[in-house]
Amino acid sequence: MPWKENNNGNGPWGSGQKPPDNSKKKYGFNIDKLLIDFLSKIKRIFFSGGPDNKKSFLSAALVLLVIWLISGFYKVNANEQGVVLRFGEWVRTTIPGLHYHLPYPIEVAKTPKVTKVNKTEIGFRIFKESRRLLPEESLMLTGDENIVDINFSVFWVIKDAGKFLFNLRSPERSIKSVSESVMREVIGNSRIASVLAEGRKDIEVKSIQDIQTVLDNYGSGVEITQLQLQKVDPPDQVIDSFRDVQRARADKEKAINEAIAYRNDIIPKARGEAAKIVQESEAYKKEVVARSQGDANRFNSILKSYKNNEDVTKNRIYLETLEEILQNANKVIIDTKQGSGVIPYLPLPEIKKRKKNLEKEEYEDTNVTNEEDVKNVQ
């Protein structure tokens, strides 16, 4: 080699020279010397037969044993649960606080966070600020054989960390599959009008209950806290036609409601008018009967008076008839036999006017009474 040729076989650093010690320059101390001293002490402790060396060995072993036993202490925070594994098998779950398990490799403790709210999306995925739709997950068939496009999110937390880690191979995928299957079943038992309108809240509640039931049967250790229907629409290809149908249905409902309102308004009025007519008829009937009875009684009375005194009765009847005829005549009657300079005046027009006023007042009183009777009947 070239360094042998130039240095007569004494190495690249010349005759009697050693390689430069850069460890002290790099670390501030001679690391090679420390390693050599450490190996020498280990050799003396484990491979020397003196009593002092045996005591040193026992002391070191005892210290190592204490350190190994102390390593079994672990802390579970308030938002965590402790899961203890013995040779890889789940043996117990611990609550927040300070606990102890047999040191590694006999037992190992895991502390997953159980208060964190996790979110599983079905029908879409959100990547940074973009939203990707997944029709193979979102398109579902309703009970009346219509297709709806549904995007929803399931929120869940870990209820039992041990079950969550060891009963399901892939908990997140299992939650997604169960949620999608349950939603398809619920939508398949619902009509499209209910899904798109007033039935959305019922669908959310029913889905949460069914998803939780299935996951509990799996022993998943998961609790469903919320389900949100974020999009419920017909497929994009038919959404315009569907909205036209919805508007037509809305117009139909509006017309029906207006007709019902008109019916509810006109029927009570018609019943009131009918009751009013009945009351007026009854009143007229009573009036005619009473008048007829009065006329008959009056005739009998006049007949009796006529039999007792014919002349007086004739004159009275004559005067009453004359009064009845002349009260409707707009005339002024002057009696010239009363003497000159005196003009007796009988105010027939004023008498007629007063009588009309009296009849008008009686008619208004009768109408008020009839209206009160109609209200009582209603």
pLDDT digits (tens, 9 = 90+) for 119-176: 999 988 887 777 788 888 888 888 888 888 889 999 999 888 888 887 888 888 999 9
Tell which wins on pLDDT, 177 or 15.
177
**In sequence order, which residues have a C-beta less than 8 Å from that of residue 31 and are 6 or more positions away?**
23, 24
3 state DSSP class of 117: coil
Q: Identify the pLDDT of residue 256.
A: 93
At 13 the pLDDT is 43
pLDDT (tens digit per residue) in 102-123: 777 777 777 777 778 889 999 8
Instruction: Give the model's pLDDT for residue 239.
Output: 73
Q: Which segments within 19-103 are labelled E, that is strand?
A: 73-76, 82-86, 89-94, 97-100
Strand 222-233 to 147-158 pairing: antiparallel
Give the residues across from 90 on adjacent strands: 85
Residues 84 and 101: their CA atoms lie apart, in Å, by 7
Please name the residues in contact with 176: beta carbons below 8 A apart, sequence gap of 6 or more.
120, 122, 154
Q: Which is nearest to 283 in space by CA: 152, 371, 173? A: 371
For residue 348, the model assigns a pLDDT of: 60
Strand partners, 298: none
Confidence (pLDDT) at 50:
52
DSSP 28: S
Q: Which residue did the predictor score with more confidence, 227 or 22?
A: 227
What is the sign of the dihedral through the CA atoms of 210, 211, 212 and 213? positive
Question: How high does pLDDT run on average in the chain?
Answer: 76
pLDDT at res. 260:
92
